[in-house]
């Protein structure tokens, strides 16, 4: 909801600024890599755990788009945990950008 409000206000302010001979400049001020790790368990076989990981990874890639730096899923490994006989680990690293906007009057 906050994002929708920010987009609305940005559009509203931008149209008001353009109407008064102003220019809005946006620049990237900081880029930070972020990493998310997730473990997937399966009782049946290693392929099942790997498939779960790949499904999750595809959703992440679709959501993050060109912000993704690296992504991978490990092959399902056998574990000694009775609740998680086969384990696959997924990792996605993306860049988070912080922006600054300025309005210049002409």
Q: Give the pTM.
A: 0.65
Place of tokens 């900081």: 30
pLDDT at 62: 94
Provide the pairing of β-strand 77-78 with 68-73: unpaired
pLDDT at 25: 80
Residues lower than pLDDT 50 in the chain: none
Question: Which CATH number belongs to the domain containing residue 54 in this structure?
Answer: 3.30.980
pLDDT at 93: 96
Number of domains in the chain: 1
Q: Which range of residues forms the domain containing residue 16?
A: 2-105
First-last CA distance in the chain: 33
């Amino acid at each position: 909801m906050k994002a929708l409000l920010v987009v609305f206000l940005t559009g509203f302010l931008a149209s008001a600024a353009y109407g008064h001979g102003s220019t809005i400049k946006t620049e990237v001020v900081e880029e930070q890599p972020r990493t998310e790790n997730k473990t997937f368990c399966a009782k049946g076989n290693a392929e099942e755990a790997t498939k779960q990981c790949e499904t999750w990874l595809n959703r992440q890639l679709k959501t993050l788009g060109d912000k993704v730096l690296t992504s991978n899923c490990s092959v399902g490994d056998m574990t000694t945990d009775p609740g998680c006989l086969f384990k696959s680990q997924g990792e996605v690293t993306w860049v988070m950008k912080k922006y600054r906007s300025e309005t210049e009057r002409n």
